[in-house]
Amino acid sequence: MSTEIRVPALGESVTEATVAQWFK
């Protein structure tokens, strides 16, 4: 879960999708 906080801007979209899957 710490990845979404320290993820770079270049992986914003990828992180958002991953976080959304985790929250789902």
pLDDT digits (tens, 9 = 90+) for 12-22: 777 787 877 87
Greater pLDDT, 14 or 5: 14
To the question of pTM greater than 0.85 for the whole model, the response is no
How far is 15 from 8, CA to CA, in rounded Å? 9
Whole-number average pLDDT of the chain: 69
How far is 7 from 10, CA to CA, in rounded Å? 8
At residue 21, the 3 state secondary structure works out as helix
Residue 12: alpha-carbon gap to chain centroid: 6
Q: How many CA atoms lie within 13 A of 8 on its CB side?
A: 2
What's the angle, vertex CA 15, arms to CA 12 and CA 19, rounded to 5? 135
